[in-house]
Amino acid sequence: MNNMNNIPQPDSLHRFLFEQEPIRGELVHLDATWRSVLERHDYPEILRNIMGELAAAAVLLAATLKLKGSLVLQIMGNGAVKLLVVECSGDMQLRATAKWSGDLSQGSFAELIGNGQFVITLDPKDGGQPYQGIVDIEGSSVAEIMQNYMSHSEQLETRLWLAADGKHAAGMLLQKLPDTSKEYADSHAEPHDADAWRRAVILADTLKAEELLLLPAKTLIQRLYHEDDIRLFDAQDVIFHCSCSRDNVAKMLQMLGREEVDSILAERENIEVHCEFCNQRYEFDKVDAEMMFVDAIVLPPSESRH
């Protein structure tokens, strides 16, 4: 028996389609990508699991939106969990981080987050205006929060199943398409089975977390939907990538202004900036600061000089 058939294709996103029904789906498995997030900080277990589910959800949603730029999902809490952030780009590069305080060993998801907000940002990254939606958190899991958000903002009915542990994060999404959609092939002259959506959701509800985390996409789909005709598309890779850079940090310091930068450097040797996502440290000494502002002086637009 070939063991490769029994483990999920690592760090991949699979899209699938019900051939006879207007339903589409996606499956994501995060392995090395997820561990790259975890090895950079020591997250408490419950926070780690919530963040893993949010990471899987971000990939599923980014794939659904077919966006070019990046999607940022944030859970902002006023409990012990202050902030969870996951960013996923249209080409499936992912990064994530979290802020919390105190002991997270006790309490449910809702208690740890308290009265919170869920923020979704779509940044086209082409200079265009980002879209941001902010709602109060409704739900006692990442999947519920996402579903509630989507039921308010999207016309398409969407359901999510998510799971995460210290090694893997995974998720499945089902979306009910309009009968007239392009994805629902035009050969369907017959009205589809009105009960198909409900049945697909009920079957997906039987999924156990271990199955979602550990089964390959093909096996999982066959197990759930062996009576349906499903088209499973080729996998797309998902990788960990942090978009921080020394240049971006320098730009941020330039925006702080020379006075502020000089006053920090009057007290210490270096300005140290630390990326929350990947743990990369960037150091700027007095010479670096000098160069940074010399560069900046070249830049101001000519209309400001009269």
Applying CB under 5 A, which part among 15-23, 30-38, 180-188, 236-244 lies near Zn ion? 236-244
Instruction: State the number of binding residues for Zn ion (CB under 5 A).
Output: 6
> Does residue number 278 form part of the binding site for Zn ion (CB under 5 A)?
yes
CA 292 to chain centre: 33
Amino acid at site 8: P
30, β-bridge pairs: 169
- Which residue in 200, 139, 142, 148 sits closest to 171, CA to CA? 142
Least distance in angstroms from the C-beta of 244 to Zn ion: 3
Q: Does 244 bind Zn ion (CB under 5 A)?
A: yes
Instruction: Please name the residues in contact with 54: beta carbons below 8 A apart, sequence gap of 6 or more.
Output: 73, 75, 84, 86, 96, 142
Question: What is d(CA 11, CA 65) in angstroms, rounded to the nearest whole number?
Answer: 19
CA-based angle 228:156:113, to the nearest 5?
A: 105
Q: Which of 59, 160, 224, 275 binds Zn ion (CB under 5 A)?
A: 275
- Residue 196 contacts Zn ion per CB under 5 A: no
Length of the chain: 306
Minimum gap (Å) between residue 274 Cβ and Zn ion: 9
Q: Which of residues 175-194 bind Zn ion (CB under 5 A)?
A: none
- Using the contact rule CB under 5 A, the part of the chain among 36-44, 50-58, 275-283, 297-305 near Zn ion is 275-283
CB atoms near residue 158 (< 10 Å): 17
> Shortest approach of Zn ion to residue 245 CB, angstroms?
8
Q: Shortest distance, CB of residue 13 to Zn ion, whole angstroms?
A: 22
Considering only 167-175, 199-207, 222-230, 280-288, which stretch makes contact with Zn ion by CB under 5 A? 280-288
242 binds Zn ion (CB under 5 A): yes
Closest to Zn ion by CB, 115 vs 279, is: 279
Smallest distance from Zn ion to CB 279, Å? 7
94: contact with Zn ion by CB under 5 A: no
Which of these ranges, 27-35, 124-132, 233-241, 242-250, lies near Zn ion under the rule CB under 5 A? 242-250
Is the CB of residue 136 less than 8 Å from the CB of residue 122? no
Comparing CB distances to Zn ion, the nearer of 244 and 265 is 244
Binding part of the chain for Zn ion, among 66-74, 150-158, 234-242, 282-290 by CB under 5 A, reads 234-242
Q: Give me the residues that bind Zn ion (CB under 5 A), please.
A: 242, 244, 275, 277-278, 280
